[in-house]
Amino acid sequence: MDNGVADLERDRSRLGRSSTAERVADILRDRISEGFFEPGQRLSEEAISEALGVSRNTLREAFRLLGHERLLDHRLNRGVFVRILSAEDVADLYRVRRVIEGAAVRRSPTPQALGLIKEAVADAERAAARDDWRAVGTANIRFHQALVTLNRSPRLDEAMRQLLAELRLVFHVMKNPRDFHEPFVERNRRLLELLEGGRVDEAAAFLDGYLDHAERLLVHAYDPDA
């Protein structure tokens, strides 16, 4: 039973600041979103607490945290599992994105937020130029995160952060990252231009089409018979 769990021991070095439970949660969150733990996989309390060198109680506090973020599925007396998103979950995540990002593009952009967005677009383009599609994906995520800051709401920022973490759970099903990320590099640039030009309605409409497309790609790869 060392489903890559032994490997975790290297992360013990990261333990040393703030609350242990939170640091454990940070580590597990990273591992989950990078696909190190696969959706559906059970996370054994004993194995992980031993691998990270923390007590079961502390680990359980971390599990609660991640469960609340919907990254883990906590089933009573059965343990915690890496969350498996249904097609309906994906649809719901995109519903939320349309609401939050849609509201964002309708606001008058601040120079600061625009700077972040620009940077993300440029990063994505650079990564695409060198065929690093993993980096493109990361930059695209940063793009949307930056987009949401237009709302100037810490809570919406946080909600978006969680939403994207959840979405990463399903990004890994895309066998070919290029197909999934490439089409959006150009679109991000276009959306940025619309924002800079203050063409709010066009930007909103463009974003809707954008999200529709992304959702379709994802749901198709995820659940081919849908």
Partner DNA sequence: ACATAGGAATCGTTGAACAATTCGACAAGA
Partner DNA sequence: TCTTGTCGAATTGTTCAACGATTCCTATGT
Q: Which residues contribute to the site for DNA (CB under 7 A)?
A: 1, 19-21, 42, 44-46, 53-58, 60, 74, 76-79
Residues 6+ apart with CB under 8 A from 126: none
Q: Which does 99 bind (CB under 5 to 8 A by kind): a copy of itself, DNA, none?
A: a copy of itself
- Interface with a copy of itself includes 134 (CB under 8 A)? no
Count CB atoms within 10 A of the CB of residue 9.
Answer: 12
Among 65, 85, 124, 128, binds a copy of itself (CB under 8 A): 65
CA-to-CA distance for 134 and 127, rounded, in angstroms?
8
Please count the other Cβ atoms lying within 10 Å of the Cβ belonging to residue 128.
20
Specify the residue, 60 or 199, whose C-beta has the smaller distance to DNA. 60
* Element housing 87 (H / E): helix 87-105
Q: Report if residue 176 touches a copy of itself, rule: CB under 8 A.
A: no
Residue 151 binding: pick among DNA, a copy of itself, none (C-beta 5-8 Å cut-off by kind) = a copy of itself
DSSP, res 4: S
From 150, 157, 207, 154, select the one nearest 184 (Cα to Cα): 207
> What are the residues binding a copy of itself (CB under 8 A)?
18-19, 21, 57, 60-61, 64-65, 68-69, 76, 92-93, 95-96, 98-100, 102-103, 151-156, 159, 163
